[in-house]
Amino acid sequence: MNNKQFLQSIYDTVYSLGLVQSQYEFGHLCGRQDSWFSSAKSVNRQMSLGALVSLAVNLQNLPPDKLPSKVRTHVRALVKSIWSFVEARS
């Protein structure tokens, strides 16, 4: 999987879980600016460790009572996967 596909797959997962409604919101969830996601895709930029860490931390900090119960398990699994990926890259 190339950088663009990896980034898109994470966005698609977060979007499908209803955690973001737009690419702009995803950028913010990753601790970046509004246009970060579209810019990163257009130049096939690798998702930085900083963006991955911000995403994992921000997902972990979502209040569980604000998430539908069927989504909570998926969010925990996604966070676990992100942390594993971060550990492998560092």
pLDDT digits (tens, 9 = 90+) for 30-69: 999 989 998 988 888 888 899 999 999 999 999 988 888 8
Residues present in the chain in total: 90
CA angle 37–41–43, rounded 5-degree value:
120
* Rounded Cα gap, residues 9 and 89, in angstroms: 18
3-state helix, strand, coil in the chain (%, to 5): 70, 0, 30
When pLDDT is averaged across residues 14-22 and rounded to a whole number, the result is 95
Confidence of residue 3 (pLDDT cuts 50, 70, 90): low
Helices (H) then strands (E): counts for the chain: 5, 0
Can you give the pTM of this predicted structure?
0.88
